[in-house]
Amino acid sequence: MEQYILDRAQKWLDGNYDEQTKQTIREMMANDPKELSESFYQDLEFGTGGLRGILGVGTNRMNVYTVGMATQGLANYLKMCFEGEEIKVAVSHDCRNFSREFAERTADIFASNGFKVYLFESLRPTPELSFAIRELGCKSGVMVTASHNPREYNGYKAYWEDGSQVIAPHDKNIIDEVNKITSVDQIICGLHPENIEIIGEEFDKIYLERVKSLSLSPAAAEQYSDMSIVYTPIHGCGRVLVPASLRNYGFKNIHCVEEQMSVDGNFPTVESPNPEERTTMRMAIELGRKVGAEIVMATDPDSDRIGIAVPDEEGNYVLLNGNQTCVLLTYYMCRRWKENGMLDGKQYIVKTIVTSEMMADVAKSFGVEYFDCLTGFKNIAKVIRAEEAKGKVYIGGGEESFGFLAGSFLRDKDGVSACSLAAEAAAWAKSIGTTLYKLIKELYVEYGFYKEGLVSVVRKGQEGAAEIKQMMVDFRANPPKDICGSPIVAIKDYQALTILNPASGEVLPLESDKSNVLQYLTADGTILSIRPSGTEPKIKFYFGVKEPLASLADYDAVSASLDAKIERMKKELNLI
């Protein structure tokens, strides 16, 4: 055992920590040196979006002490930025273990620092927290959540006054202030409980009315109000507001997966609370078959992501990937905006650099401008903030990781509004004689058959972080020369902010914020993107391929060809 780890653990044994925490440390010292090392080898990093980590005791774990120190650092920064002003903050949480405790701890510290605090009465979706910050005139907000991470995780998302997660320069400045909190004795707490106001159902109604304002086809929703819909919150925050929003849109035949309506941070009915995985939606799809659902939907624990399954021609449920969901919602919204006479040349959509280029093609076909940005909805929010200052109007935007945001009254991905619009899109498709499944295939004929793949390589712990770092170093030093036989024509390095043409050696500047991302573009239009996850112990490989689709009769053959190409790419990279 390295001495510095023992020294860090000893500080907790000597410090102002509760006895149960100290006893756990003693037990790790005696019986589990590896866990002691993982728990204390570093401080749980307050990254550009906040905290995320495994629940437990120690400096590198999510607990009331690391949450408290992060909150005090954030409070100190807010006092610096808004000196002399009233500082209001909003605090919410999801269904995870200890989420309520962490939220109350956060609210207490903010209140003790003299802030006005709006604390939700119980779990609420992340998008409602973003909405609350804007609606209530807050300077900041905190959402206690680890999104769709495994059950042993929790996290802490920090937001700024525009309702988006913090970005530069505030992110780095907050990190600096958090790093200055080196002892729990620096935390101001236990004062001014009168500064905390509990908000709940009445505020939900305001949020739901704003979500309803996004409706584009109320006549179709009314015509097919009995359309069968299945929904599951996967034990999380969407359990009340998603069904309420669907009813608000006019839908009456809503079936919820009862076994998954219970609030439970252990997620007992799924291996992973991630709607990106078909096994997670198994129970919802089974219920969909039973009731003949025309759309099956799920939201993740904090209800910002959405998973969708739709029946194919044989009635088998097909799980849409995040790119397909973004494309369908973008097409639906752009087309309905045009048909409703709402397009005037000022509208735009936003996607991330690892999201399907098909989104951009759809937008352009309607004369709608599009923007690319780095991964993460805080970067989509940054584009919205910049473009609204120019008088432009945001229609919607999304990312391949099952996130979509319509409208700009909040600034994070929103599973509540996405579910409502997806159901309305299904009703609208029905009204014009098609289905969402048929529609995506028809769009492939019109725009080209885009297909994407993703491999996430998990490397946990101290050694894993070093391995991921080295993988990025190696790809920069020895980039592939071709992919599936097609030469690479451009290498985009978002860390160096350069675009390299391997054939000529020409290097051009890349207009973007910095991020540890590499993209390889080939002559045949294939795109390979590589980036470490900012929130999980993973390095991610994104594959994008495209072929023309002459007719629906060719769908299966072209689909198989694209799948084979993605598999070949994985083999070339030694990922399978």
* Predicted local distance difference test score (pLDDT) of residue 47: 75
The residue annotated as part of the active site, out of 37, 99, 147, 417, is 147
d(CA 225, CA 572): 49
Q: What mean pLDDT is predicted for residues 508-533?
A: 96
Q: What mean pLDDT is predicted for residues 464-479?
A: 94
- CATH class of the 42-199 domain in this structure: alpha beta
| Per-chain mean pLDDT for the chain | 96
CB 381 within 8 A of CB 412: yes
Q: What mean pLDDT is predicted for residues 460-484?
A: 93
pLDDT digits (tens, 9 = 90+) for 80-107: 999 999 999 999 999 999 999 999 999 9
* Predicted local distance difference test score (pLDDT) of residue 104: 98
Domains 42-199 and 207-447 share a fold: yes
Length of the chain: 576
Contacts of 342 (CB under 8 A, 6+ apart): none
Residue 115 tokens read as: 């802030």
Task: Please check whether the domain covering 449-572 is classified as CATH 3.30.310.
Answer: yes
pLDDT digits (tens, 9 = 90+) for 211-257: 999 999 999 999 999 999 999 999 999 999 999 999 999 999 999 99
* Predicted local distance difference test score (pLDDT) of residue 212: 98
Q: In a 10 Å sphere around its CB, with 0-12 CB exposed, 13-18 middle and 19+ buried, how is residue 571 labelled?
A: exposed
Identify each DSSP E strand in 501-555 by its residue range.
Answer: 507-509, 518-522, 527-532, 538-547
Query: What whole-number percentage of the chain has pLDDT above 90?
Result: 94
In this structure, CATH architecture of domain 207-447:
3-Layer(aba) Sandwich (3.40)
Q: What mean pLDDT is predicted for residues 186-209?
A: 98
* Predicted local distance difference test score (pLDDT) of residue 532: 94
- 147 included as an active-site residue: yes
Q: What is the pTM of this model?
A: 0.95
pLDDT surpasses 70 at 1: no
Distance (Å) of CA 28 to CA 20, 24, 37, 152, 575: 13, 6, 9, 18, 36
Neighbouring-strand partners of residue 302? none
Q: Is 156 helix (H, G, I), strand (E, B) or coil?
A: strand
pLDDT digits (tens, 9 = 90+) for 368-405: 999 999 998 999 999 999 999 999 999 999 999 999 99
pLDDT digits (tens, 9 = 90+) for 254-303: 999 999 999 999 999 999 999 988 899 999 999 999 999 999 999 999 99
Residue with tokens 């906040």: 50
Show the CA angle centred on residue 309, arms to residues 306 and 312, nearest 5°. 155
Domain limits, the chain: 42-199, 207-447, 449-572
